[in-house]
Every structure is written in structure tokens, then in C-alpha cells.
Structure 1
């Protein structure tokens, strides 16, 4: 192992040398390089350094993750090199220097991710109504249907408002003013202009009146302009009038500007994309279906799939979308893979349990992430089987010209929402059947797949001197438990820092999870490292990339080297203020010395209170 100085020199050499570094900052776990030329950095060699846990290129930064000693390595680098330390704000600003497409997809994805539960819920009500109508269990002319239809359609009609609020939160602007801007485009007085027979103008400027209900592109463009406008207005306006002046000017400028420019431009973009997809399908439906179905799992893995949904939603508002039905072929191919492995792995109870649960959740809810990340990517031979099966169904769905007009997850319950239904069933059925057969014949051997508990038991059998000891770690936060792999940061989600669990906090207080000592308290107070009396090292990292807030909205109640008891208050933080700044408050709880133990087993996802059991450490 290298000492801190040697490690620092090695890292500087592999990022392209001192002259290739614009600035260097660090957070609780990683060095964050702002480089002049990213091509000069040897990421592969950096990852091979034993002290480096992983290397991530994100937000215009090269992030070298080295864990708890990052501060010492940073100090050695700054001693020996003429490198600007910059500031955390520089790190934040470097996010804006990332590639244009990366920023666009990050913006769209960050906008739509919080809306997914609402979209899925409303879509499922649409699916329920479709089933009830087919069975003649509800009268489509009756008041009951009208109420339920309103419950499912309201979100889609007022979608620009919800998109505006979410986009503003993502960009750090006032979400309520954003909602007012979007609502202005849906006001009955404005929508009445669409039916006007005379010249429609605004202050003498020709105005193209259009219906913005269910659209997303115009408001996405508008919010990208509104956010910097609001920041500029806050800088120039006196404090005495800022309360009303900023919002008043923002609304006065943005509503007409959106109606005159962004609305028509957004409509042209969405219409053009929809026409291009339609042209592609008309030219060669089979080839188009194959290509879209092949690309979809890759797009999901890259995390940019939510960036495609504005296109899908706009297609839906124009008479029906053809993309989402084809992606369903890829989804049902993944479900078929899980079911095929379930049938194949007869002797592995753990694997059969995993694949049965994954198949069930996929069929009933359209949730396939456990299959994709926990099975297909884990066993690479399943990847071509998945792609082939999806391509088969995608081609059939495209040939039948299947469309959908409302947002739903691709499950068996939403089948009636697709038309023609028979063509859709044939397509997804073909994908599911092909994947099941291929996985059963060529899939991975069940006996090779062992659960973490089995690995721990096997370790004991191979070394009888190992004494099984359990340490229970208590939750430092109140909130909702989520699996580590669902955290939106690859450094934590792939367990590079160690095993653990994530918490979506609903109360901004961090308590000590055990009796122990504070070994690290980062200056920005967004992260704290503890060691228990038994030697378990825990990192509590409040939020994702919140180091860039430079301590704003955080307050520490302990100091480094402080002795703490279980339940002692460590840090308080303002959840809403952090989220308003555009950051997620998802908090990873990481056992940083996982390698010293047999396993670190998290509790299943659930609502949890501070002080309740959250992790079990096996030694």
C-alpha cells in the first residue's frame, strides 16, 4: 500500500499531470478534479490503484474515490503541486460545463423522476377503468365513471404545471412561481384564444395560440430560462421589494415569452420528433421495432430513459405513442428471463425465491430493475438472450402499429390500454416466451449463484476458527429505507465504499447509531464518520453532492474525536431547503470497513424510525 504522498503523486500523474488540472476539491470520500482535457486522464489505471475504490466521471468532474483518508491525500497533493483549490462552488459550477446532452438528460430525468409515482398511479386508474369498461361493470356515461376518469385525467391535463414545479425544484428556482407560469398557459381566457377567428396578438406581436394541456417541451424550455432570470432578478432587486418584485417580473416576462416563443418552438420540436419516429416506423416497421427494443435496456442502464418520456408524452397527446409499446417488448423479455431462470434453478432455493419475486413484480407492476441489475447484468450471458427476445416482440408490435394514449407501466393489468390489444399481446407474449425458453436452455447455472448468507456460511465452513458474531446497527434517521443500489450515485450504489443502506429522510436530524467516537466531521457538515466501541466504521453521508452547499442548511452538534452515545444528536439539516437548492437528501449509511466482516445485511425497505434496527454486521 502507498503512503498518502505517494498515492497523491500517482493520482496526479494519471489524471494527466499538474498542468491538466484546473482545480481540485474534495468531499468526504472523493477527490473532485476539474480537468482541462478529460482524454488525458487514464481512468482504467486510476481504478487499478489498490487504494482507489472507484473512478467516476460526473457533472464535469473526474471523481477519484479513496474513502476516509481523502482529506490527507488532498493535503499532500496541495503541498506538492501548484493547483488551485477552487471552492465547492467551483465544483458546482463545473456541473454546468458537462456535455450539453448530458446536462439535458440530467435536467429532464431530474424533472420527471419525482413525478413518476403520480404518473404511474393515474395511469393505473386509467387501466382499471379500461378493464371495468370491457367487463361492462361500469357505465361510461355515469357519474362514477366521470369522477374516476377525472381522477386519472387531471394530472395529464395539468401536466405542464406539475412539470414546471418539478423542473424549477431541479434548477433551484421557486417552484410555486413556476407553477403560476405554467398555469397561465392553461387559463380558460388563454385557451379561448385557440378558437378565436380573428388575428391573435400580444402587444401587436403575432401570437400562435395552441393547447398546452398534456405537453411538456414548452414548459421545460421555459423553466430553463426562468431559473437564471429569477437568480438575476434577486441580485438586482432591493431587499425591501424582493418579496413581490422577483415573482411579479418573472411571471410578466415568462408567460408571454412562453406563449410567443417557447410554446411554438417546443411544439415544433415535439412534432418533429414524433414525425421522425412515425417516418422510421412507416419506412421499416420491423427494423424500427427491433432497434427500439434493442436500445431500451441500454438506455435504462445508462439512466437516460426518463429523458425519452417527454417525447412519449407528447406523442400521446397527438393521438397515440408508438415508442412505449415497443419498449414493453424489452420489459417482458426481462420478465421472461427471470421466469426462465426460475424454472431452471430447481436446486437453488434462494435463486428461485429471487426470480419468482422478480417475475411477479414485473408481471403485476412492470418493475424490472431487480431483474436487470440483480440478474441480467450480474450474469453476462443473459444479456444477448434478453436483447434477442426483446427484438422479436418489438418487431411484432411495430408491425401491428400498436399505440397507447395514456402513461402506464408495462404490466399485465395495463394491457387494455394498448390498441390494437391483440397485436400488443402477441408482441409481449412473443418476447416473454422467447426469453423464458432461451433462459431455460442457455441461462446461467443455478448452482453457481449463492446468496450473501450462503457465502457467509461457506466462509465459516472453510475456516472453522471464524466465530459468528452479530452487531446490530441502529438507524440514525427517520425515513424510508431504500436498497443501496437505488441511490443515485454510483460510488455508493455499487458498494465501492462498502455495504450499507440508503434512507430517504423525513426528519432532518441525525442521531448516533451506537456508542462510539466521531472520527471524521467534514467541514461542510454534510457527512460524518463514526467508529463503534466494537470497531464498526460507519459513514453517514447526508444527501447526494451536498458538499457543494458548503455547509449551508447543516448544523453540527458534535466535533471530531467526540465520544457519543447511541441516540445522541449529531447533525441537523433542513430537508426542504436542501431540496429547494436542487439536491437530493437521500442519505447513504455505509459500513466503510465492510471487508473486515463476513457481511453487512440491511433490513428490507420500509418506513423506519431513528433508533430502530437497520443493519446487521456478521463477523
Structure 2
């Protein structure tokens, strides 16, 4: 068996056989489910030669191995006498609060692009009407307003779909339950004169458009109804009887019981948060501004999303995001401060420059949190200070966010009062920048970077000379793009293991066509059973991983078709895999495809060619052997 000693060491360091419930793997990671995640020795694991990183996320203890993961997996499985379904023991207990937040996160995550995009449309309309460039009485405004409001109005439908999928029930039946609450036959009963009843039971019709909590309660109940129906209905009849009875049961129960209950729960929670804010805007601003990034690290910030949407629906403005916006600009300030500090440190300068731009223009700051702040931990108290002060100012002015948007410069018009917003985010940005510049890096870190920078300049000069003077084609190998699409930097890939470069150097591609070709002449070394990733070794020895989509191992091969076999010799441009882009997206997964050279450390250099739009066959990487 390969890596026998290393496998034994990994088993030992994750807590031994008795601590392991199950083990699966994807293209790069061993995904352990453990009884107790506090037992593993992360520091010692990361010291192992082939271990690139260790991540505890999503209920899995992930040991990142890279292209050797399948060999490690096979050896560990044999030593454990374990397979994916062999254990019936439960893993480490998760608190109810954690489960709730994780479920909320899973329900809202697929909707964030639509919610954020629609929010920006509303922000644009605010600008146009504020400056007199468009009247809110025109048909043009009405059509654009529909573009901005549609996803919010139909939120019960979308949440019915995503939440049912997250829980494991039929997502389209979940969507149908939400749709029933918005059907004109039901909405016509709202405000109707006389008694409204269902089979003699009094009903109080409520407007559920843009609501959150009622559909959450309803779909949670539907999940158990669906399981019960599948137990008592013959399998041959389940196709139509299960959804039929689910709708007959859930829609009346929702309008009679679960909907009003969910509405009351939402109002209680929202009113409680608002009460706290009203008692002390200043204190609430400090807590939200300083604490929101740390909640985001653990995914707990999703717990505020239903409250935010509830506030937007009932009052038209949300003070939670009105204060939390300061945290975003504090993070951007830290990235800017380190960017200005790192004039000679090309790697850090590149990272902080790109992440600060992403934060300013898009409001996406996860690359700053994971790539900068958690790496340079002297910036953590700076984040709390800058965010807390900025949040306090926003809170003192009573700033509210009046549309669901990502916090970036383009969404500025949706905050009121505007002066308080500008002072709050401006203060957070300036304090974050100044403190990060003067205190964000230790003298030792700066000295190490200076040495790395000198070595990097020297190495780059040597490489350029080698590239210009070399006539041996095998010294410089060109990899062509395996997919037609839009190229993005590896740091922009929404997976910290890939974006950190732990697996290898490379880039990401947003596919436009669902077809993968070979980027080199070589041999197919690995085809994962789930078909979502393929490994190739070129004739010159470059080891390449093409990972089609993020977390798509969970699709178990659905939407993928492989056209070659492991061990096949392939030529540059040969079709390897076909995949259904829309099908993958419909399941809530990203199709962003990392293309990586996984044995980067064994090579003289891996040079990524910067492109925007790339066709299959365009050169994307040069490998120097």
C-alpha cells in the first residue's frame, strides 16, 4: 500500500480509529467525519510532507493532500476497515443553534447573487430618481422596478426551493408551497369582508410576499410530512401521491397555523433586535461593527439575514446592516494599509491590492478575511477597533440600509442618513488603513518579506533569461485552456484551499461551454468516481488537476460525462469531459473550474498568463521545468 506510514500518522493525529466515524474524499481532500473535532492535532498534521492544509468546515475535518489524495484514501480506508457507509455512529454533537444557522446559510447561499443583483437594481433606481434622471411614474421605471422587486416578492417560492433541498425534501414541492401563498386565489382573501374559513376552521389571511419566517416554519414541517408519506405510500405510487398529499396537507396548515406562527416569531425576533438598537444605537453599532466579521468567519452572520429582510419588508429600512456596513470598510482599510506598506513585497502587494479592489467594487471581503486578516493576526484587533468605531458612528446617526445589497461603493445611495453613512464607513476605512499600515505587520514578518522579495526578483530575472535564451522546448511547456470561458485569478476562487494556492499554482475559469479538453499531451492519471475532477501528467512531467465546479463532489457524477479512461494517453485538444453547466447551477453549485499545476514545488516556475476571455486552445500557463 502507498503511503502506509503517512496514513497511520494521519489516523493517529485525527484522534485515532475510535474518533473516526467515516471518511470520503474529493479531488484534493480527505474529508473525515469525527466524533470529536477537538482531539486532532492540527499543527502536527500541517507539518506532514504531503499535507497542504487542514480545514474544519461544514461538519467535516478536511485534510488537504492534493493530487495524492486517492492513494492516501485507499490506504487509510484499508487500515480502518471502513467505507463511506460502514459506520452508523453519530459524529460530534452539534448544537441546535449551530444547526439552525447552518440551515439558514444553506437556504440563503444560492439566492445571494439574485438578492444582491436585485438590490443593486433598486440602488440604481434610487440614484436615477434622486437626480431627476427618471420619474417613478413612467412605465420604464415600473419595468425596472419589477426587476429589482421580483425576487423579494417571490421570496417564499425561492426559499421553499432552497430550504427543501437543504433539508433533503423535494425542492419543487417546497417551491409550490411557497407559490400557493402568493397565488391570486389566496391573496384575494386578504382583507375580504366576512369570515374566511377552511372546512369550518377560521383563517386569518396574511400577505406573505417578501416574508421569510413563515416559509421556514412550513418547509421544516413539510420535511417530516414528506418522510412520513414516503413510509406509508407504496413506492410505485409515490411519484404523484406524495407531492399531492404534501400539498393538500401543507398549504391549508400553513395558512391556518404555520404561516401566522412564523409571522409572529419573525415579528418577535425583529422587534427584540430593534428594541436593543433603540435602547442604545451606539452600543448596538459597536457590537455589530466590531463583531460581524467574526460571525462571518463561522457563517453565523446568516442568522441576521431573515431579520434584515423582515425589517426591509415591514419598515423599509434595516439598522442592522446600517451599522454592519462599517465592518466591510474596516476590512478594506486593512487590505489598503498593508498594500501601501508592502511596496517591495510583490506577493502581499498583489494579494492586498486585488482583494481591496474586490471589496470596494463588489463588497466581497472573504478573500481579505481568509487571505489577509487570519494570516496576519496582528490585524485582528485592528479590525475590531476600526469596525467598532465606524459602527458606533453609524449607530449614533441611526443609519439604515434600505435595500438588500452587498456593501460596496455602488450601493451607497441606499443608506440613510447619507452623512452618517459616509462618516461611519469613512472612519472605519481610514482607521483600518492607518492602523494596518503602522501596526499590521511585525518587524519579523517585514524582514522575511524583504528577503523573499529579493529572492523573487533574482529568480524572476534568471527565469526571464532562461525563457529568452532557451531553445529546448521541453524546458518551457505551454498549457492551453481546457475550457472556453472567463479567466479569474486563483485568489478569486470561492474555496480557501484552492484560492490560497495550497494545492498548486494556477487559475480559475468560469465556463461558457460545458466541455473540457486536454491542456497537454500526456497521460490521464486520475478520474474521480464522481467525474467532477481529472488528473493528467504531461509528457514533460507537469501534474495538472482540472476541478470542474466547487464542492461538486456532492453531485456524485450527476451532470458529468467522461470520454476517456484512467491510464489513457491523450493529446492536446482531445475531449475529456462533458458537463451540464445549467444543471450544476440548478443544484446550487458554482461551476468555477480551478486549473492547477499540483507539483508546482517540483518545477522551476509556473507562469500564469493573464487573459480575460479565453477559448479552448489559448495558452494559459507556462511551466518551466
Between 586-595 and 201-210, report the one with greater CA deviation: 201-210
**In structure 1, what is the equivalent of residue 431 of structure 2?**
434
The reply on whether 1:386 has 2:383 as its aligned counterpart is yes
Shift of 1:517: 0.4
Q: Using a 3 Å threshold, how does the CA distance of structure 1 residues 20 and 125 change in structure 2: closer, same or farther? A: closer
Structure 2 residue aligned with 1:565? 571
Aligned equivalents of 2:491 and 2:453: distance in 1? 18
C-alpha distance in structure 2 between counterparts of 1:359 and 1:240, whole Å? 56
Aligned to 1:51: 50
- Counterparts of 1:267 and 1:254, CA distance in 2: 16
User: Which residue is equivalent to 2:402?
Assistant: 405
Give, in whole Å, the separation in 1 of the partners of 2:491 and 2:425: 28
Task: Name 1:10's counterpart in structure 2.
Answer: 9
Q: Secondary structure at the match of 1:194?
A: coil
Counterparts in 2 of 1:509 and 1:105: CA distance versus 1, 3 Å? farther
Instruction: Report the secondary structure of 2:564's partner residue.
Output: coil
> Are positions 1:195 and 2:191 aligned together?
yes
Corresponding position: 1:458 with 2:458: yes
Aligned to 1:182, what secondary structure does the other structure show?
helix
Deviation at 1:547? 4.0
After TM superposition, the structure 1 = structure 2 runs for residues 58-207 of structure 1, keeping only pairs within 5 Å, are 58-81=57-80, 83-87=81-85, 100-171=96-167, 174-196=170-192, 198-207=194-203
Between 221-230 and 269-278, the greater mean CA deviation after superposition: 221-230
Shift of 1:513: 1.5
Q: Is the 8 A contact 2:486 2:612 kept in 1?
A: yes
**Contact 1:456–1:599, Cα closer than 8 Å, also in 2:** no
**Structure 1 residues 450 and 137: CA distance shift in structure 2, 3 A:** farther
| Cα gap change, 1:171 to 1:513, in 2 (>3 Å) | farther
Give SS of 2:188's match.
Answer: helix
SS of residue in 2 equivalent to 1:520: strand
Task: Find the counterpart in structure 2 of residue 337 from structure 1.
Answer: 334
Cα 1:593/1:209, change in 2 over 3 Å = same
Worse-matched range after superposition: 375-384 or 518-527: 375-384
Moved more, 285-294 or 365-374: 365-374
Question: CA-to-partner distance for each residue in 1:336-360, whole Å, 9 max, x for gaps?
Answer: 3344455556667887787666555
Which ranges in structure 1 are unaligned for 5 or more consecutive residues?
Answer: none
Paired residues of 1:400 and 1:423 also in contact (CA < 8 A): yes
Work out the CA distance in 2 between the residues paired with 1:305 and 1:602.
35
CA distance in 2, matches of 1:203, 1:455: 80
Aligned-pair distance for 1:539?
Answer: 1.8
Question: Higher mean Cα deviation, 362-371 or 46-55?
Answer: 362-371
TM value normalised by structure 1: 0.86
* Aligned-partner Cα distance in 1 for 2:563–2:90: 31
| CA 348–233 in structure 1, closer or farther in 2 if over 3 Å, else same | same
CA distance in 2, matches of 1:264, 1:454: 66
User: Does 1:310 find its partner at 2:310?
Assistant: no
Q: Do the aligned partners of 1:351 and 1:450 also contact (CA within 8 Å) in 2? A: no
The more displaced of 424-433 and 102-111 is 102-111
| Cα separation, 2, equivalents of 1:345 and 1:321 | 38
Question: How far off is 1:405 after superposition?
Answer: 2.8
Instruction: Output one character per residue of 1:78-128: Cα deviation in whole Å (capped at 9) or x when no partner.
Output: 4444x332349x79x989976544443343333333333332232223222
1:277 Cα shift? 1.6
State the structure with bigger RCO (CA 8 A, min sep 6), 1 or 2.
1
Aligned to 1:537: 543
TM-score (norm 2): 0.85
Partner of 1:259: 255
User: Relative to structure 1, is the Cα distance of residues 434 and 493 closer, same or farther in structure 2, using a 3 angstrom cutoff?
Assistant: closer
Question: Would the alpha carbon gap of residues 511 and 221 (structure 1) be closer, same or farther in structure 2, given more than 3 Å must change?
Answer: farther
d(CA) in 2 for partners of 1:211, 1:96: 41
Task: Name the CA distance, whole Å, in 1 between partners of 2:485 and 2:163.
Answer: 24
**Conserved in 1, the CA contact under 8 Å of 2:609 and 2:621?**
yes
Does 2:474 match 1:477? no
Question: Alpha carbons of 1:582 and 1:100: their partners in 2 closer, same or farther (altered >3 Å)?
Answer: farther
Contact 1:60/1:94, CA 8 A, preserved across alignment = no
Separation in structure 2 between the aligned mates of residue 6 and residue 255 of structure 1, nearest angstrom = 58
**Structure 2 unaligned regions, length at least 5:** 469-474
Distance 2:227 2:577 in 1: 29
Distance in 2, matches of 1:435 and 1:15, equals 38
Counterpart contact for 1:597–1:617, Cα < 8 Å: yes
What are the equivalent positions in structure 2 for 1:571-586 lying under 5 Å apart? 571-578=577-584, 584-586=590-592
Could you say which residue in structure 2 is the equivalent of 1:423? 420
Decide which of 297, 302, 305 is 1:301's aligned counterpart.
Answer: 297
Over 3 Å counting, the alpha-carbon distance change for 1:412 and 1:80 in structure 2 is: closer
* 1:322 pairs with one of 312, 319, 324: 319
CA contact (8 A) 1:473 1:613 kept: yes
Structure 1 residue 370, shift from structure 2 partner: 4.8
Q: Size of the alignment, in residue pairs?
A: 615
Quick one: structure 1 residues 604 and 398, their matched pair in 2 at CA, closer, same or farther if it must change by over 3 Å? Answer: farther
Partner residue, 2:472: none
Using the alignment, how far apart are the partners of 1:236 and 1:180 within structure 2? 22
The residue number in structure 2 matching 1:594 is 600
Cα separation, 2, equivalents of 1:69 and 1:352: 32
Q: Which residue of 1 aligns with 2:471?
A: none
CA distance in 2, matches of 1:149, 1:203: 39
1:276 aligns with 2:282: no
Contact 2:290–2:386, Cα closer than 8 Å, also in 1: no
| Contact 1:483–1:605, Cα closer than 8 Å, also in 2 | no
Per-residue Cα deviation, 1:378-436 (whole angstroms, up to 9, x for no partner): 44333333321221111111122222332123234433322222222222232233334
C-alpha distance in 2 between matches for 1:265 and 1:102: 22
Q: Secondary structure at the match of 1:68?
A: coil
Alpha-carbon distance in 1 for matches of 2:609, 2:242: 46
Worse overlay, 133-142 or 236-245 = 236-245
